[in-house]
Amino acid sequence: MRDVTVMSYGEAIREALDDGLTQYPEMILIGEGVPDPKTIFATTQGLREKYGAERVLDMPLAENGMTGICIGAALAGMRPVLVHQRIDFALLSVDQLVNNAAKWRYMFDGQQQVPLVIRVIVGRGWGQGPQHSQSLQAMFAQVPGLKVVMPTTAGDAYHFMLDAIADNNPVLYIEHRWLHHIQGEVDKNSPRTALTGAALLRQGGDITLAAFSHMSIEALKAATVLAKHGVDAEVVDMRCLTPLDVDSVARSISKTGLLLVADCAPETASMAHKLLSELFQSHGQHLRQPPRLIAYPNHPVPTSHFMANHYYPGAEEIAAAVLEMLDKQPLKQIVTMELQSDLAKDLPDRSFAGPF
Amino acid sequence: MRDVTVMSYGEAIREALDDGLTQYPEMILIGEGVPDPKTIFATTQGLREKYGAERVLDMPLAENGMTGICIGAALAGMRPVLVHQRIDFALLSVDQLVNNAAKWRYMFDGQQQVPLVIRVIVGRGWGQGPQHSQSLQAMFAQVPGLKVVMPTTAGDAYHFMLDAIADNNPVLYIEHRWLHHIQGEVDKNSPRTALTGAALLRQGGDITLAAFSHMSIEALKAATVLAKHGVDAEVVDMRCLTPLDVDSVARSISKTGLLLVADCAPETASMAHKLLSELFQSHGQHLRQPPRLIAYPNHPVPTSHFMANHYYPGAEEIAAAVLEMLDKQPLKQIVTMELQSDLAKDLPDRSFAGPF
Amino acid sequence: MTAMNSAGADLKQLYYQMLRIRRVEQAIAERYQQQEMRCPTHLCIGEEAIAVGISAHLTTQDKVFSNHRGHGHYLAKGGDLRRLLAELYGFAEGCCGGRGGSMHLTDLAAGFIASTPIVGGTVPLAGGYAWAEQMKKSGAAQGCASVAGGTTPWMEEVERSRRPEPRTPEATNVVVIFFGDGCFEEGVMHETMNFAALKKLPLLFVCENNQYSVMTPLAERQPERDIYKIAAAHGLQAASGDGNSVEQVYALAQAAVANARTGQGPQFLELHTHRWPEHCGPNEDDELGYRSPGELADWKLRCPLLQTRQALLDKRLSDESELTAMEASLADEIEQAFQWALRGSRPSIDSMGLHLYA
Amino acid sequence: MTAMNSAGADLKQLYYQMLRIRRVEQAIAERYQQQEMRCPTHLCIGEEAIAVGISAHLTTQDKVFSNHRGHGHYLAKGGDLRRLLAELYGFAEGCCGGRGGSMHLTDLAAGFIASTPIVGGTVPLAGGYAWAEQMKKSGAAQGCASVAGGTTPWMEEVERSRRPEPRTPEATNVVVIFFGDGCFEEGVMHETMNFAALKKLPLLFVCENNQYSVMTPLAERQPERDIYKIAAAHGLQAASGDGNSVEQVYALAQAAVANARTGQGPQFLELHTHRWPEHCGPNEDDELGYRSPGELADWKLRCPLLQTRQALLDKRLSDESELTAMEASLADEIEQAFQWALRGSRPSIDSMGLHLYA
Ligand SMILES: Cc1ncc(C[n+]2csc(CCOP(=O)(O)OP(=O)(O)O)c2C)c(N)n1
Ligand SMILES: Cc1ncc(C[n+]2csc(CCOP(=O)(O)OP(=O)(O)O)c2C)c(N)n1
Ligand SMILES: [Mg+2]
Ligand SMILES: [Mg+2]
């Protein structure tokens, strides 16, 4: 039985947290700002009122300590969901996440477990600058024992959150800030995700676009315009990083023969390397041409929008690369034109007007 | 003019620190244990006596704070070398390393710089266990703004350390504990390394072995025995991770047509993915066969030597893979036999007898 | 006419500095609405007395580190106003060439080393800087090179109000770190206090306790006890006071800076104050209801500027006409600074990749 | 015959527990030379009074977290000796199935949750566990599931000396965290103390101040001031005492555990003691010279066991023949435990990859 509602990605997260708090009496929702009037971009709105200040609470500024405290509570059977408004702040807690959370079950021979969710938001735009806009997914995804997901659609945002809460392992749930406003269908009755597997966002036979998080949206945009010009791209959303679903991409390239990977991270910090490396080891023969990678430059994001607007590749760069790979350069100009937006480049949507 | 001395890797580090303290009056050597009677496995021996307690000193247990303190001292013109006896402890300081050290020069538009060396040791053997034997090089190497080196030979240990001290950027200097006792030539007069470039440890035409840190030693061992059986492997030591010298490997495979990468890290945390991904994008045509990767399993190292001894692949596994790739399986048995050692598998050398 | 009070403070000068910060912040708030300063901006309106009362005791040789709420610290230390504004606009002439925005400021010539927005991030850096100053003085690190990694064209044309150099040759340069009550919860604070006390560093910790971390009140984050007493327990000389009284801040800072300068080790001041605008952004946000009713209004009655203005008039250290002239000259300076900033140039896209490595 | 002293301590029982730890540690040290316990091992010889004096007040429902030097904490809490030894040998019957070795211990049935060797790593975990205990009691988290991720075959066959359950139904389970003077330097200590004080957690911090972090003396790491006074400044009820007097530890712990149990918030004890053997490993290392001359010898005169033994004899609570019998029974228990451990099985190589994820 389907039970579909259309809501934004941010609303889907709120909905999942709400349902989680109902379904799991042992769930706690904690983080700097969780119960404040802005409620983490409205994703925790109303939850303190509904579930009480003991279960929905703010915290001191002490990322490593509070992560350890949540691990301890998880060992005692709670299900804490710890929120950082920026993934950059989670860097203070790498010790607890990597030395403890990721290893606890293993090193205690399966006798103990850490059902913990760390919810982090990747910043972008309006001058977030070097310390508030890092793309750190690959740093965490390489750690055995952590589960890392980057849902792209509202539906995945909902189900991944609920499944992360139910999961008995530490799960890092990475949201890109620019996904929050995007609407999508949420079917609460769809089956459990197990937090694995890529998603086929669009079928197509000409080229495979394997993309991560917000870049999947950009890839879709590119694919939509390309389709008008006879280029049919398949878009695979690499929404789960551990394990990375290499097989889905292999299946797609066995059909298309061409691969472009688009990641929202600096090249050195891109999960694309693991994807391409695995394909090279086992499925290289499918490709008619070497694969290509579109990623961010290898330096921090400068604050000034005059620079930052050129830091981020998007649909235009993806479309241009696709046309090059298909040897259809003449289409570049028209496709680029159709992809151009009048929205300021450092804003995710029209409702947005700084400072956050 | 060459001025060659044979010394161990550990001695080479001590020598470089000594020379650094002489050449740079602004150098400070600090870390838990630096001046204690064991002097970080004898790598800081005699330095406090020679340069005084102000410049060669111990520190409180406060990895993040002390890293920040060293960054601050570096901003003021000092050249701190901060030592962690285990790389695992550096996880407490990821905030300062990534949010500050790596970005400082960039975000302050080149007006300030952080001449800082972080010296860390990767543990292995004698039950180091899950929290004292992590391989974290890829976690740090992905961060734009950090320089990461993993010298394999005594010569590189010396020059990389001295060049890291001279470098005006934050450098993470990663030592594998099992390299410390290995002897090698140090020519103090050889030119500056600039902390870049792979090293060709052995020439050969049959297959390229690209290896990292201690795995380069294992690759050399394998190559030596293989050579007796007519297989001539080229060994490329990927001693610098940022930038990774992909070109040297490309050059080698354009000659050999076969590539095996051996890394001392769990597969998900392996730098090999970046290497293979880049090769796939630009040099895939050189290979007659898909490349292979030998790495550690994707879980922590258990303490029990009964398990840990089987955690680490080495020369035997490398040789076996080479023989498979060259379709010379019949040689496996004899080569494996010749590679077997009577040394206990959790000890780096005969002089070693726990507990460290 | 100078206007020394009992502690030797030039009250008029202090007032002028506070007013300058206030007017700059207000001008930023006003123009922020134009959506051309496109970066997160944390104003310090209501808290000006702290930056001013502390910096009055510092020379350009003394160093300041700060946090996300850094405009006041930067200006009080003598940071270039024009380059601050250019930075907010994202122009190449900004003090970070546009790479930092409001939350990353620097003016090395003024001794304002850096502000950054990871809470607690600059605290140990200040400790390390103070340590280096101590080592340079002791001769432990004679060959110590300079901090600058290069100079920029505008560095030379910077002019600013110089302050007297340290009096005695034996005195050490002092390093000051400004941070908030929220920051005090970060472990790195304690790690730095411990090291500073161990090494007797010439370091002054200034805790601006405005009772909030973003919108979260102290009571949701810390137990009831005094912050400065923890510092005292760490072995620091510590005191607390009214952060809205510039005279009190001045007097406390006088002792603290003198102690730090003369080798008596790290000092800690907890100064109580209140932020008037929203945490981040140009507006007021009292309607959100996270402050208790009347709280903001009460604090506005205790405005550091109003109090000082009244004292100046009461003590006849100044008069309305002089204060009006002061306003006019500031309005003029600020207007010109904005004009200068707005003539700034867009950083070239090609330059975006520079300066990652030395 | 029981042997209550004024504080109600059963001195003979305390002595027995200390002696048991001492003899186990000595037996480990002796056999360590055979190179079959192949893992870093930090012995607590000289520091036994702390673990014993604290745990005397704990039930199996109370929980303990510990650090790299955890054997004493584990044994005093009722952790299974045989599985400790099997763990040191790396056998499947070890309390972590061989995955942890000396530095990672657990015995959930005894309420000994975990020890791990990243200094400071378990401190916030203890805080979080205490928070969960508090929430369970308040009913905030009724549906709270159990901690175990699975059971192991030997879990069931574990037998141990049970202690009385908490007396009143209103009382909360108490969580204890043991850590050293070095650990106190880690920022996470302060983050945890702040949260514990904020939430009034049923948590007892026990600082084993043995003056050294590995071989580095306190004076190279901390300024002169009392550790427990920092805890007091954080808002904890804090005290210090002689960690080599089991009677003093017992008395201090009695009050502290009672306070924590009855909702009076977190407690902190700084207990002065000294480690006799080398930091890590089975040997003495006085010849290395990092301790001041005579320091170790002085502390040996203040041996917690010797003192208690003398008190037992002086107060005629025991006699030589009973103490000799005690030694014999311990020797027997320990010998049998080693025999049991040495019959352990090698964990299968295939099992190495299990249990990473639930
Ligand atoms: C490590 C870290 N955690 C969280 C944040 C988000 N943040 C920015 S400012 C701030 C409040 C800091 O409060 P306080 O230190 O009292 O300074 P105030 O803003 O009151 O001046 C927070 C939580 C951050 N920037 N860095
Ligand atoms: C984060 C971290 N830093 C450093 C170490 C290395 N180390 C292990 S034990 C120890 C000393 C700890 O001293 P203390 O807390 O006083 O405990 P003690 O050994 O004296 O009982 C150190 C530095 C570590 N394990 N973890
Ligand atoms: Mg505040
Ligand atoms: Mg100690």
Number of domains in chain B: 2
Where residue A225 sits, what CATH number does that domain have? Answer: 3.40.50.920
Task: For Cα atoms B94, B97, B100, give the angle at the middle one, nearest 5 degrees.
Answer: 120
DSSP calls for C32-48? HTTT-S-S-----TT-H
- Ligand 2 pocket residues where CB is under 6 Å: B 32, 61, 63, 89, 92; D 68-69, 117-119, 179-183, 208, 210, 212-214, 279
| Ligand 1 atom showing the smallest separation from residue C44 Cα | 21
Average pLDDT, chain C: 92
To probe the interface with B, which of C80, C179, C191 has the most B CB atoms within 10 Å? C191
Give the per-residue pLDDT at B354. 64
Whether residues A33 and C215 touch (CB distance < 8 A) is answered with: yes
- Same domain as A209, residue A180: no
- Same domain as A226, residue A152: no
Where residue D201 sits, what CATH number does that domain have? Answer: 3.40.50.970
What are all long-range contacts of D28-32, with beta carbons under 8 Å and residues at least 24 apart? D28/D71, D28/D85, D28/D88, D28/D282, D29/D277, D29/D282, D29/D283, D30/D282, D31/D338, D32/B354, D32/B355, D32/D281, D32/D282
Question: Is residue A345 in some structural domain?
Answer: no
User: What mean pLDDT do residues C175-199 have?
Assistant: 98
The predicted-structure confidence for A8-48, as pLDDT tens digits, reads as follows: 999 999 999 999 999 999 999 999 999 999 999 999 999 99
Measured in angstroms, the CA of C84 and the nearest CA of chain B are apart by 13
- Dump strand ranges (E) for B33-192: 56-57, 79-84, 117-122, 147-149, 171-176, 183-187
Domain limit, last residue, from A130, A157, A187: A187
Question: Is residue D271 in some structural domain?
Answer: yes
- Same domain as A146, residue A224: no
How remote is the CA of residue C182 from the centroid of ligand 1, in Å? 6
Residue A252 has pLDDT above 70, yes or no: yes
For residues B191 and C311, the model is more confident at C311
The predicted-structure confidence for B25-70, as pLDDT tens digits, reads as follows: 999 999 999 999 999 999 999 999 999 999 999 999 999 999 999 9
Average pLDDT, chain D: 92
Which value, in Å, is the radius of gyration of the alpha carbons in chain A?
20
Residue B346's pLDDT band (boundaries 50, 70, 90)?
confident
The answer for residues whose C-beta is within 8 angstroms of residue D322's C-beta and 6 or more apart is none
Percent of chain A scoring above 90 in pLDDT:
94
Assess whether the C-beta atom of C65 lies below 6 angstroms from ligand 1.
Answer: no
Question: Is residue C120 in some structural domain?
Answer: yes
Give the per-residue pLDDT at D163. 42
- Same domain as A206, residue A148: no
Question: Is residue B167 in some structural domain?
Answer: yes
How remote is the CA of residue A69 from the centroid of ligand 4, in Å? 23
Number of domains in chain D: 1
What are all long-range contacts of B349-352, with beta carbons under 8 Å and residues at least 24 apart? B349/B181, B351/B181, B352/B125, B352/B126, B352/B181
Alpha helices, DSSP H only, in chain C?
11-32, 48-55, 71-76, 81-89, 123-138, 153-157, 187-199, 227-233, 246-261, 295-301, 304-314, 320-342
Residue C165's pLDDT band (boundaries 50, 70, 90)?
very low
Question: Is residue D321 in some structural domain?
Answer: yes
Q: Which tokens hold the place of B259? A: 């590539």
Point out the residue among C197, C198, C221 whose CB comes nearest to the CB of D198.
C221
Residue D159 has pLDDT above 50, yes or no: no
Question: Is residue D3 in some structural domain?
Answer: no
Question: Is residue B46 in some structural domain?
Answer: yes
Give the per-residue pLDDT at A345. 86
Question: Is residue A194 in some structural domain?
Answer: no
Percent of chain D scoring above 70 in pLDDT:
89
| pTM, to two decimals | 0.96
The parent domain of residue A102 ranges over 4-187
User: What mean pLDDT do residues A240-266 have?
Assistant: 98
Q: Can you tell me which residue has the tokens 């939350």?
A: C103
Q: How far is CA D129 from CA A66, A164, D172, D176, in A?
A: 12, 21, 12, 10
User: What mean pLDDT do residues A128-137 have?
Assistant: 97
- Same domain as B182, residue B73: yes
The predicted-structure confidence for D260-308, as pLDDT tens digits, reads as follows: 999 999 999 999 999 999 999 999 999 999 999 999 999 999 999 999 9
How remote is the CA of residue C100 from the centroid of ligand 3, in Å? 22
Give the per-residue pLDDT at C171. 84
Other chains touching A, judged by 3 or more CB pairs under 8 Å: B, C, D
Question: Is residue C2 in some structural domain?
Answer: no
Between CA C42 and CA C104 the distance in angstroms is 11
Peptide bond into C40 cis (omega under 30): no
User: What mean pLDDT do residues C117-146 have?
Assistant: 85
Q: Which tokens hold the place of C139? A: 């001769």
Residue C191 has pLDDT above 90, yes or no: yes
DSSP calls for C216-227? EEGGGTS-SS-H
Residue D165's pLDDT band (boundaries 50, 70, 90)?
very low
The parent domain of residue C55 ranges over 11-347
Residue C282 has pLDDT above 60, yes or no: yes
For residues B335 and C8, the model is more confident at B335
Residue C36 CB coordination number (10 Å): 12
Residue A257 has pLDDT above 50, yes or no: yes
Assess whether the C-beta atom of C181 lies below 6 angstroms from ligand 1.
Answer: yes
Q: Which tokens hold the place of C49? A: 């007395």
- Same domain as B253, residue B324: yes
Give the per-residue pLDDT at C163. 42
Question: Is residue D165 in some structural domain?
Answer: yes
Task: For Cα atoms A36, A38, A40, give the angle at the middle one, nearest 5 degrees.
Answer: 90
Give the residue from chain A lying closest to B282, CA to CA: A290
How remote is the CA of residue C149 from the centroid of ligand 3, in Å? 33
- Dump strand ranges (E) for A75-116: 79-84
| Phi–psi pair at C113, nearest 5 degrees | -70, -55
Question: Is residue B348 in some structural domain?
Answer: no
- Same domain as A247, residue A157: no
Q: Which amino acid is present at C221?
A: R
Taking a C-beta distance cutoff of 8 angstroms, is the pair D55, D88 a contact?
no
Taking a C-beta distance cutoff of 8 angstroms, is the pair C231, C193 a contact?
yes
Where residue A75 sits, what CATH number does that domain have? Answer: 3.40.50.970
Other chains touching B, judged by 3 or more CB pairs under 8 Å: A, C, D
Give the per-residue pLDDT at B342. 80
DSSP calls for D306-339? HHHHHHHHHTTSS-HHHHHHHHHHHHHHHHHHHH
Task: For Cα atoms A35, B93, C178, give the angle at the middle one, nearest 5 degrees.
Answer: 65
Q: Can you tell me which residue has the tokens 């015959």?
A: D1
| Phi–psi pair at A324, nearest 5 degrees | -65, -45
- Same domain as B210, residue B162: no
What angle do helix axes C11-32 and C81-89 make, rounded to 10 degrees? Answer: 20
Domain limit, last residue, from B126, B158, B187: B187
Question: Is residue C21 in some structural domain?
Answer: yes
Residue D168 has pLDDT above 70, yes or no: no
- Same domain as A253, residue A306: yes
- Same domain as A160, residue A108: yes
| Of D262, D314, D227, the residue nearest D57 (C-alpha) | D262
Residue D146 has pLDDT above 70, yes or no: no
Measured in angstroms, the CA of B172 and the nearest CA of chain A are apart by 16
Question: Is residue D24 in some structural domain?
Answer: yes
Percent of chain B scoring above 90 in pLDDT:
94
Point out the residue among B94, B107, B130 whose CB comes nearest to the CB of A107.
B130
- Same domain as A44, residue A160: yes
User: What mean pLDDT do residues B296-314 have?
Assistant: 97
| Of C157, C102, C175, the residue nearest B76 (C-alpha) | C175
Question: Is residue A353 in some structural domain?
Answer: no
Residue B161: enclosing H or E segment and its boundaries? helix B154-166
| Of A87, C66, A91, the residue nearest B96 (C-alpha) | A91
Task: For Cα atoms C297, C299, C301, give the angle at the middle one, nearest 5 degrees.
Answer: 75
The predicted-structure confidence for A65-124, as pLDDT tens digits, reads as follows: 999 999 999 999 999 999 999 999 999 999 999 999 999 999 999 999 999 999 999 999
| Ligand 1 atom showing the smallest separation from residue A132 Cα | 25
* Sign of the CA dihedral with B341 first, then B343, B349, and B351 last: negative
In this structure, what DSSP letter does residue A342 have? S
- Same domain as A126, residue A223: no
